[in-house]
Chain A
């Protein structure tokens, strides 16, 4: 058996409150190697969850188990095998990429020679080899993001947590990063939080949708898409009809055409005779789950 197959991170009744406001409540999740796409609206509790998994923030209640060890009590059990790329992170502008990575490698407890080799490999991997000796202050946003990705991978993490990792990357780099995540996922647990559903669509082996601090769904993408079969429709309307349509149906897309607006909507019943069934995608799934909940409230 591959040792990585035994990796498991589990949250049990995880809750976090900030000054009386419940950010996360009774959150139960179990993850094994693969990529989890974490989706949810702004303020849903994604960042809180990831900060708790990354041992930065302690939960108000509940436990996080890494291979059976409670990392709330013993965070060191996880930190040496953890890679974390926060959404808003900075760098030391007066260090070069190589120096910054050497610094990060040292505080991750990596030995000198091993770290140097790994840094060279990672600089190649994120396409920064030529700029490795330039100061980070002169880097573009995308280049800094790639430095962030490299530091997250430094210690060959068994648990990789990445928050909006493709923000600021050009399309080519984005594809490159997606492929990298896919390659990595066989041996480790990757948690990918993003608003770019296409990133999740192309990489995630599991999807969790979180809303108002609760886990709404945790399933494989195929299961979610299968559940939406026959619920997504496409048809063309005039521009004038669109506002009224948006009030009646959950519109997940609208594209201007010469003959009007091609609408894509989620509905359990056929919205009108012209509407044709469409193949569901994850955006439809996400919107249907999140929007329904909002309507209930």
Chain B
């Protein structure tokens, strides 16, 4: 099949797809006229029931906690799968990275980049940690905080210190932290079962008033575990991709 034939097939199929989509979209109640009772009901009840002012995080870790467990395990599996694929690639290699690099070199990292990156490592790590532990009060949560925490490690690499990056985040430690994060989430849920409550029920004390750090029971704890798991997963992913791109520095 030539490219032109493929394009014609695609044009016909896309026309059908667009027709179906338009038919579906004209059946919606229009942009801005959200009628659904589920969202409005949660907005009414969430703060009183969970003492969490961040309703989105409350939905994520409390009302729809089971979905979040699934999503987190997708992340875990993707990171693990990537490690498996790329580590096998490394073992099958016949030449050493030094030989593969040949005479290709990279320029030394400029001082401006080094200073800026190293200055930002501390604040970025603090920001990531703050975001991961404040899920119940403001727009934050485990997922965003975890990615920012991982980027603090990546900044170390960007400053030109790949070996330091590798020493700060050895593969065994990353695997352990990732497993602890994912397992911790499930363990919290299973602890609820051990207390004769439904899976992932909110059994920790809810705190005095909504929005405090110690409020909202298991939501803050789950968000912390998700944060460390996402951070470890992303650092592991970047570390795997970096392993084989070593070049000799000029």
Co-complex (A, B): no
B residues within 8 Å of A by Cβ? none
A residues within 8 Å of B by Cβ? none
